[in-house]
Structure 1
Amino acid sequence: MTDIFDDLAAECRRFDELLAGLTPDQWAAPSAAPGWSVADVVLHLAQTSEVITDPAGAQAKAFVDTGTTVDGAVDELVAAERGLPPDALLARWRAAALAVPEHLRAQPPGTRLPWVRTPLSAATLATTRLAEHWAHALDVAGPLGLDYPDTARLRHVAWLAHRTLPYAFAVAGLAAAPVFCDLTGTDGTRWTYGDPDAPSRITGPAAEFCRVGARRLDPGRTSLAAEGPHGQDALRVLRTYAA
């Protein structure tokens, strides 16, 4: 997990490059996130970044006080502020999101920050934000027919998907079980997570594994292989964000 803050900053800059080239029609176009336009996706990322940089602010309070599911909360927040012009929206996202990496890097060791379902360390929260920006970049680029090539930064997303497997099992009403993930990284190297002696394992391309964890790709449409008593369940429940 070295350089997670640098990698988060790099992912945000790459997303910025994608957004900076969009036309007004593209901002208004549907994204791959159900019910959201491209502008809605960016507004969501701006709002959630503001929760991190201003934990006592209005966005943080609305996020905590909504009293609904995580998906319901973010939908309500987006609906409340929908309609900002693209220039203003891009400026707002930049002001919040591009400040997050250094804000998190500056946290004292051992600090845990409030986030959705449970407080997270600065490094884990940075990993979560990288995963979310990457997944939403796919939501923007895919429907618009724009390229958003995978990078080695997906190693953080793969780590997060494996690290949160106990949570994913619990959300699905299943008992947690050890699963070893032996993946082929975007650079062709081997990325491994967990105990190699675990009775269950998942093997295959890391890019597909990350997309399954982000709920952007059905496991049945991948070349991933699941073995052992809990491999198939792990692949089915895999997720990189809170329910």
Structure 2
Amino acid sequence: METWAHGQDVVDAVGAARAPTGRLRHVAHLGVATLGWSHRVRGEEPPATPVRVELGAPDGGTWTWGPAGATDRVTGPALDFCLLVTQRRHRADLSLQATGPVADHWLDVAQAFAGPPGPGRRPRSPSGPPGS
């Protein structure tokens, strides 16, 4: 996850693009697994409410985590979820949808890496660099 995230920093710095691959599943899995951590690191109790995550995989398939019947859900492209949980993009710049209050709050605090929470990314301005 760290290698991918810092690699994204380099890609952004030089204004390049890289195609997402199935290897993002590892980053997405870590992002889902750290739902509780994302809350604890901010002094919040992890939610007891389950969250279903359904991500569009780069190959056109779907990656899923959590119970199918969960009312709180996160859906969208796997790349966008990975950019969010590694805090490489602001939520407003991504095509992720949250249904339910637990899922909605999680997308605001998601953090798949150790350490204290940072300020996160600001939404991109039309004239600013990626990830600014």
TM bracket (short chain): 0.7 to 0.9
User: Where do 5+ consecutive residues of structure 1 fail to align?
Assistant: 1-130
Letter in 2 for 1:212: L
Counterpart residue number, 1:228: 100
SS at 1:155 equivalent: helix
1:240 aligns with 2:112: yes
Counterpart residue number, 2:29: 159
The structure where strand makes up a greater share of residues is 2
Query: How many residues end up aligned between the 2 structures?
Result: 113
How far does the alpha carbon of each residue in 1:173-228 deviate from its partner, in whole angstroms, 9 at most, with x for none?
A: 32222211011011110100112222311001110000000000111111111011
How far does the alpha carbon of each residue in 1:76-100 deviate from its partner, in whole angstroms, 9 at most, with x for none?
A: xxxxxxxxxxxxxxxxxxxxxxxxx
Alignment partners' CA distance in 2, 1:217 and 1:137: 14
Q: What TM-score, normalized to structure 2?
A: 0.80
Higher relative contact order (Cα pairs below 8 Å, separated by 6+ residues): 2
Alignment partners' CA distance in 1, 2:35 and 2:113: 11
Letter in 1 for 2:111: R
State percent identity of aligned pairs. 39
Counterpart residue number, 1:143: 13
Greater Rg by CA: 1
Q: Judge conservation of contact 1:200–1:229 (CA < 8 Å) in 2.
A: yes
Alignment partners' CA distance in 1, 2:31 and 2:17: 24
Q: Judge conservation of contact 1:184–1:204 (CA < 8 Å) in 2.
A: yes
Counterpart residue number, 2:39: 169
Q: What TM-score, normalized to structure 1?
A: 0.45
SS at 1:151 equivalent: coil
How far does the alpha carbon of each residue in 1:120-148 deviate from its partner, in whole angstroms, 9 at most, with x for none?
A: xxxxxxxxxxx111111111121112332
Q: Match for 2:79 among 193, 202, 207?
A: 207
The structure where helix makes up a greater share of residues is 1
Aligned CA RMSD, in angstroms, stands at 1.2
